[in-house]
């Protein structure tokens, strides 16, 4: 696989709709019990999981950048 690209294997969806994220994936992405994941979906592309803290940091960066550019009244 190219650098940064992974195939972690296949998971099953349990009766309650839960999946187990493979250990190697948890290690690579630093996922710990209690971490929050944002679930995104595109009906033609599939499902993506994103660590909520990464999205929050991204939002802070965007909001911080826009606050710096706003002219003062």
Give the strand pairing for 46-51 and 37-42: antiparallel
Residues with Cβ within 8 Å of residue 5, at least 6 apart in sequence: none
pLDDT tens-digit readout, 4-58: 999 999 999 999 999 999 999 999 999 999 999 999 999 999 999 999 988 888 8
pLDDT class for 67, splitting at 50, 70, 90?
low
SS3 25: helix
């Amino acid at each position: 696989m190219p650098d940064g690209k992974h195939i972690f294997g296949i998971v099953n969806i349990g009766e309650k709709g839960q999946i187990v994220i493979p250990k190697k994936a948890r290690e690579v992405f630093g996922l710990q019990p209690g971490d929050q994941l944002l679930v995104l979906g595109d009906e033609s592309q599939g499902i993506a999981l994103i660590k909520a803290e990464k999205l929050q940091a991204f939002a802070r960066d965007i909001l911080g950048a826009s606050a710096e550019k706003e002219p003062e009244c």
